[in-house]
Structure 1
């Protein structure tokens, strides 16, 4: 399977589903469509994550900002079940959020505690979580983005 890191079709899924559900652009207007995948992965100043549709979803995408924030390299991140980004006591809250997103399409202004690979705990602030739904209505998982986080 080709890496989704800079896959143009996956970048389109991220950006289009965000625009349709959230109502704003994920990618600034000055970024050329041909550069969207590279910009989201390498240059976006915000964390961008996505997980798949498995019963115990696994991350399928984590841009470089996410990799720095959570302290995982690409290959480690995409092997990680997304529930492991939160510690056990915080997983029920995270699961409720994802269920709400699944039924409502997206959720904005989420705040939650997360854990990095090193064990560093941090708050994510003003996160937006949305369903990855293509133009044909097929569900591909969920994505999240946030620009603010602080160590606990």
Structure 2
């Protein structure tokens, strides 16, 4: 999916932050496998693994979603990247989500997270075995949080 600005999702700096932070905290690769064709930006955006992130605002706003995330949340890039991340969960699920994000803030990452989320059209889905991690910039400063998962089912 080529975005209206001619790019594919995040720029190379953000893609590198996501991948590097994930590797440093989990000891695993976000994009496993030997296929290294295409740029990191392209491989991340086209990955079948759902990947999304938000920034550091008081009410964090989504700043990245790969093609799988945009499809699942039924949003285009511009809508997705203007959405406060709390709106990815229904109101009744937000307290659980907030507890998870605080745990990740303190511990660096959490894996095997499950929870119900809601798409832009109101469609509910249950994510399974998600990993949520802190994203840091090149100098090790906190730059937001990200999540990835490949298992989900519609409710």
TM-score interval w.r.t. the shorter chain? over 0.9
Deviates more, 1:54-63 or 1:26-35: 26-35
Alignment partner, residue 56 of structure 1: 59
Per the alignment, in what secondary structure is the counterpart of residue 66 of structure 1?
helix
Shift, 1:34, TM fit: 6.1
Q: RMSD of aligned C-alpha atoms?
A: 1.7
The one of 76, 92, 106 equivalent to 1:73 is 76
Relative distance call for 1:16 and 1:77 in structure 2 (3 A) is: same
Alignment partner, residue 112 of structure 1: 115
Counting matched residue pairs gives: 150
Shift, 1:136, TM fit: 1.9
The one of 24, 29, 32 equivalent to 1:28 is 32
Q: Which aligned runs of 4 or more in structure 1 are off by greater than 3 angstroms?
A: 31-34
Relative distance call for 1:38 and 1:136 in structure 2 (3 A) is: same
Work out the CA distance in 2 between the residues paired with 1:127 and 1:147: 8
Per the alignment, in what secondary structure is the counterpart of residue 39 of structure 2?
helix
Shift, 1:28, TM fit: 2.6
Confirm or deny: 8 A CA contact 2:136 2:142 kept in the other structure.
yes
Alignment partner, residue 19 of structure 1: 23
Structure 2 length normalisation: TM-score?
Answer: 0.91
Structure 1 length normalisation: TM-score?
Answer: 0.93
1:95 and 2:88 are equivalent in the alignment: no
Shift, 1:134, TM fit: 2.7
Alignment partner, residue 130 of structure 2: 127
Alignment partner, residue 144 of structure 2: 141
